[in-house]
Structure 1
Amino acid sequence: MWYKKSVIYQIYPFGFTNSLYRNDFVLKHRLDKVESIIGHIKKLGCDAIYFCPIFESEYHGYDTIDFRKIDSRLGTNEDFKNLCTKLHENGIKVIIDGVFNHVGKGFWAFKDVLKYRENSRFRYWFNIDFNRVHDGMFYYENWEGHNELVKLNLKNPEVVDYLINTVKFWIDEFDIDGIRLDVAYMVDENYMRRLNSFTKSYKKDFFLVGEMLHGDLNRIMNNEMMDSVTNYQLYKGMWSSLNDLNLFELWHSLEEHFNRRYVGSYTLNFLDNHDVNRIASILKDENHLKIAYGILFSIPGIPSIYYGSEWGAKGVRTRESDKELRPYFDNYIENDLFDYISKLIKIHKEEKAFLYGKISKKLLTNRQLIFERSVDNEKIMVAINIDKEPYIAHFDAQAGRAIDLITNEKHDFGGGSELKPYSISYWKVY
Structure 2
Amino acid sequence: MTLLDSAIWWHVYPLGALDAPIRNRQDRNDQGVVHRLPQLAGWLDHAVGLGCSGLLLGPVFDSTAHGYDTLDHFRIDPRLGDEADFDALVGAAVGRGLAVVLDGVFNHVGRHHPWVQRALAEGPHGEHAGLVRIDWSTGEGRPYGWEGAGDLVPLNHDDPRVADLVVEVMLHWLRRGVAGWRLDVAYSVPSWFWGTVLARVRSEFPEVVFIGEVIHGDYAAIAQAGTLNSVTGYELWKASWSALADRNLWELAWALERHDAFSAAVTLQTFVGNHDVDRIADTVGDAGAALALAVLMTVAGSPSIYYGDEHAFRGRKGSGAGADDPLRPALPATPADLAPDGWWMYRLHQDLVAFRRRHPWLSHARTRVVGKDCTWLTYESRGPEDQVVRVELGLDPHARFRVYAGDDEVGWDARAAGRLGTVVGA
Q: TM-score scaled by structure 2? A: 0.89
- Which residue number corresponds to residue 388 of structure 1? 397
> CA separation in 2, counterparts of 1:46 and 1:274?
18
Contact 2:109 2:153 in 1 (8 A): yes
- Equivalent residues of 1:209, 1:227 under 8 A apart: yes
- 1:115-151 CA distance string (max 9 Å, x none): 2223531111022332326xxx523322011111111
| CA distance in structure 2 between the partners assigned to 1:421 and 1:360 by the alignment | 26
Structure 1 position 402, deviation (Å): 3.6
Q: Pick from 184, 187, 198 the counterpart of residue 182 of structure 1.
A: 184
1:93 aligns with 2:94: no
Counterpart for residue 248 of structure 1: 250
How far does residue 204 in structure 1 lie from its aligned partner after superposition? 3.2
Partner Cα separation in structure 2 for residue 31 and residue 99 of structure 1: 20
Whether the 8 Å contact between 1:235 and 1:269 is mirrored in structure 2 is yes
Helix, strand or coil: the match of 2:267?
coil
Q: Distance in 1 between matches of 2:213 and 2:226?
A: 16
Check 1:126–1:35 CA distance in 2 against 1; reply closer, same or farther (3 A cut): same
* Deviation per residue, 1:75-129 (Å, 9 max, x gap): 1112101211111111100101110011012211111112222353111102233
How far 1:361 sits from its partner (Å)? 2.0
Partners of 2:413 and 2:18 in 1: CA distance:
41
Aligned counterpart, 2:276: 275
Q: What is the CA–CA distance in structure 2 between the aligned matches of 1:19 and 1:268, rounded to whole Å?
A: 27
Note the residue ranges of structure 1 that are not aligned, 5 or more in a row.
394-398, 408-418, 424-430
User: Which residue of the partner structure matches residue 344 of structure 1?
Assistant: 352
For residues 5-84 of structure 1, the aligned pairs below 5 Å read: 5-22=6-23, 23=25, 24=28, 25-84=31-90
Runs of 5+ in structure 2 lacking a partner?
417-426
1:151 alignment partner, one of 154, 166, 172:
154
Q: What is the SS of the residue equivalent to 1:126?
A: coil
Alignment of structure 1 residues 382-421 onto 2, 5 Å:
382-388=391-397, 402-406=406-410
Give yes or no for the alignment of 1:170 onto 2:178: no
> For residues 186 and 298 of structure 1, what CA distance do their matches in structure 2 show?
31
Q: Deviations over 1:233-278 (max 9, x none)?
A: 11110111111111111010111221x3442421111111111110
Instruction: Please give the alpha-carbon distance, in whole angstroms, between the structure 2 residues aligned to 1:309 and 1:352.
Output: 22
| 1:199 Cα offset (Å) | 2.7
Structure 2 CA distance for partners of 1:362 and 1:171, relative to 1, 3 Å: same
State the secondary structure of the residue aligned to 2:141.
strand
Distance 1:179 1:390 in 2: 37
Instruction: Note if contact 1:177-1:206 (Cα within 8 Å) is conserved in structure 2.
Output: yes
| Distance (whole Å) between structure 2 residues aligned to residue 203 and residue 403 of structure 1 | 41
1:183 Cα offset (Å): 0.5
RMSD: 2.3
Counterpart of 2:202 in structure 1: which amino acid?
Answer: K
Cα pair distance change 1:61/1:421, threshold 3 Å: closer
Instruction: For residue 374 of structure 1, report the CA deviation from its aligned partner.
Output: 1.7
Report deviation, 1:422. Answer: 7.2
Deviations 1:43-93 (A, max 9, x none): 011111111111011100111110100001011112101211111111100
How many residues are treated as equivalent by the alignment? 400
Partner of 1:193: 195
- CA distance in structure 2 between the partners assigned to 1:389 and 1:39 by the alignment: 34
Answer whether contact 2:241 2:292 (CA < 8 A) is retained. yes
Q: Which amino acid aligns with 2:371?
A: L
1:288·1:422 contact (CA, 8 Å) conserved in 2?
no
CA distance in 1, matches of 2:226, 2:111: 31
**Of 373, 376, 384, which aligns to 2:381?**
373
Give the Cα–Cα distance (whole angstroms) in 2 for the partners of residues 247 and 64 of structure 1: 41
In structure 2, the CA distance between the partners of 1:219 and 1:140, relative to structure 1 (3 Å rule), is: farther
Which residue does the alignment assign to 2:424? Answer: none
Aligned equivalents of 1:236 and 1:422: distance in 2? 26
Whole-angstrom distance in 1 between the partners of 2:408 and 2:171: 46
- Structure 2: how far apart are the matches of 1:358 and 1:261? 10
Could you state the TM-score of these two structures normalised by the residue count of structure 1?
A: 0.88
From the two aligned structures, give the one with the greater strand fraction.
Answer: 1
Partner-residue secondary structure (3-state), 1:132: coil
Alignment-derived partner of residue 411 in structure 1: none
User: Which piece of structure 1 moves more, 112-121 or 229-238?
Assistant: 112-121
Q: Aligned letter for 1:304?
A: S
> 1:44–1:108: structure 2 CA closer, same or farther, 3 Å change rule?
same
- Percent identity, aligned pairs only, is 28
Q: Does the CA contact (< 8 Å) of 2:220 and 2:266 recur in 1?
A: no
Q: AA paired with 1:379?
A: V
